[in-house]
């Protein structure tokens, strides 16, 4: 089996897990990790017996694929440098700070025939992977992504931190242009929006009501989708998919019974699935599940919402 030379740029809270996956996969040769903290880079490098650096420049042109898990403000320049030197990139969400930056990376990747995969991790949750075959034409969607306060991710607002996961999934599922957006939010513990609600209306008639909070007392990551004759609940946190639909019998005269089925996915390492898919796309020349265009679309929508909630 051919081994793809890989590296991880940024091995803090999330990046260290990227390094773990690359080091464990048979078709990956993790050659280096990079972090602004020399101590962090040294610790993760020693764990995997690879090179630990504080500057990624020596790796340009030396690796075939990289994960970029550095702060969002650094995504554009790091990705641009690696794409310019022939490396495929997996960029943690959001893809960049601005839409223009995303457009430039997408154009550069196309020019150099390279892949961009954006790390919208929930797209690799087993419940979502199974949802594809159940969705026909949703008419109403509601989602709740709630989390207790964590100072780790306060460099961006809750829309770009948490809600963007659901925005990406909803845009992919509905597959229609957004007609209108109404949003509101509030600053609770930080100087940026900590809780937000948005209503998305699509040209095909679907409506999505999306709530995200990073100042809640509980953790919840659920999405409910309604379409003709069925309702579907996705529990991202517990990796469960529930489907309710009309049965053959009647609950009351003229009223069909409602039957339900539930699937629970006990062992789903979404990050590992994501990285396996990324490497498979590199090896086989197949499209990635979440490409640069999808990342750009989610970013553009999240930026629009962010402007509305800050007004």
pLDDT in tens, 21-55: 999 999 999 999 999 999 999 999 999 999 999 99
Instruction: Please enumerate, as own/partner, the contacts of 70-76 that have beta carbons within 8 Å and a separation of 24 or more.
Output: 70/9, 70/10, 70/15, 70/36, 71/10, 71/155, 72/96, 72/97, 72/155, 72/156, 72/160, 73/97, 73/155, 74/10, 75/101, 76/101, 76/104, 76/105
Would the CATH topology of 4-114 be identical to that of 123-266+300-310? no
Residue 225: is its pLDDT beyond 90? yes
Mean confidence (pLDDT) of the chain: 94
Average pLDDT over residues 215-228: 95
Q: Are 260 and 244 in contact, with CB atoms under 8 Å apart?
A: yes
Residue 8: is its pLDDT beyond 90? yes
- What are the extents of the domains in the chain? 4-114, 123-266+300-310
Superfamily in which the 4-114 domain is placed by CATH: NAD(P)-binding Rossmann-like Domain (3.40.50.720)
Residue 168: is its pLDDT beyond 80? yes
Confidence of residue 58 (pLDDT cuts 50, 70, 90): very high
* pLDDT score of 142: 98
- Cα–Cα distance for residue pair 50/291, rounded to 1 Å: 29
* pLDDT score of 153: 65
Cβ count near 110 (within 10 Å): 12
Q: What is the pTM of this model?
A: 0.92
* pLDDT score of 273: 96
Higher pLDDT, 311 or 301: 301
Confidence of residue 155 (pLDDT cuts 50, 70, 90): confident
Residue 311: is its pLDDT beyond 70? no
Residue 283: is its pLDDT beyond 70? yes
- Topology classification of domain 123-266+300-310: Dihydrodipicolinate Reductase; domain 2 (3.30.360)
- Cα–Cα distance for residue pair 166/70, rounded to 1 Å: 22
Query: What digits encode the pLDDT tens for the residues 188-206?
Result: 999 999 999 999 999 999 9
Confidence of residue 124 (pLDDT cuts 50, 70, 90): very high
Average pLDDT over residues 6-33: 97
Average pLDDT over residues 75-103: 97
Confidence of residue 268 (pLDDT cuts 50, 70, 90): confident
Average pLDDT over residues 253-276: 88
């Amino acid at each position: 089996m051919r081994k793809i030379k890989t590296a991880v740029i940024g091995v803090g809270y999330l990046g260290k897990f990227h390094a773990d996956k690359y080091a464990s996969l048979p078709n990956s040769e993790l050659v280096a990790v990079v972090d602004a903290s020399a101590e962090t880079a040294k610790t993760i490098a020693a764990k995997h017996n690879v090179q630990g650096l504080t500057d990624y420049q020596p790796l340009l042109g030396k690796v075939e694929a990289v994960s970029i898990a550095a702060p969002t403000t650094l995504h554009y320049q790091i990705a641009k440098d690696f794409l310019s030197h022939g490396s495929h990139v997996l960029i943690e969400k959001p893809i960049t700070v601005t839409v223009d930056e995303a457009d430039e990376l997408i154009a550069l990747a196309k020019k150099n025939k390279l892949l961009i995969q954006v790390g919208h991790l929930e797209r690799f949750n087993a419940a979502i992977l199974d949802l594809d075959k159940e969705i026909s034409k949703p008419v109403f969607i509601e989602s709740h992504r709630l989390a207790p306060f964590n100072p780790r991710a306060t460099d961006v607002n809750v829309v770009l931190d948490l809600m963007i996961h659901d925005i990406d999934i909803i845009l992919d599922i509905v597959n229609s242009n957004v007609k209108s957006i109404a949003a509101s939010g509030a600053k609770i513990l930080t100087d940026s929006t900590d809780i937000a609600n948005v209503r998305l209306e699509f040209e095909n008639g679907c409506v999505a009501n999306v709530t995200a909070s990073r100042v809640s007392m509980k953790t919840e990551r659920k999405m409910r989708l309604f379409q003709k004759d069925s309702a579907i609940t996705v529990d991202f946190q517990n990796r469960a998919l529930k489907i309710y639909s009309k049965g053959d019998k009647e609950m009351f005269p003229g009223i069909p019974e409602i039957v339900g089925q539930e699937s629970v996915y006990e062992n789903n390492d979404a990050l590992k699935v994501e990285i396996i898919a990324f490497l498979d796309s590199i090896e086989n020349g197949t499209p990635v599940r979440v490409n640069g265009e999808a990342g750009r679309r989610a970013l553009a929508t999240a930026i629009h919402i962010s402007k509305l909630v800050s007004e």
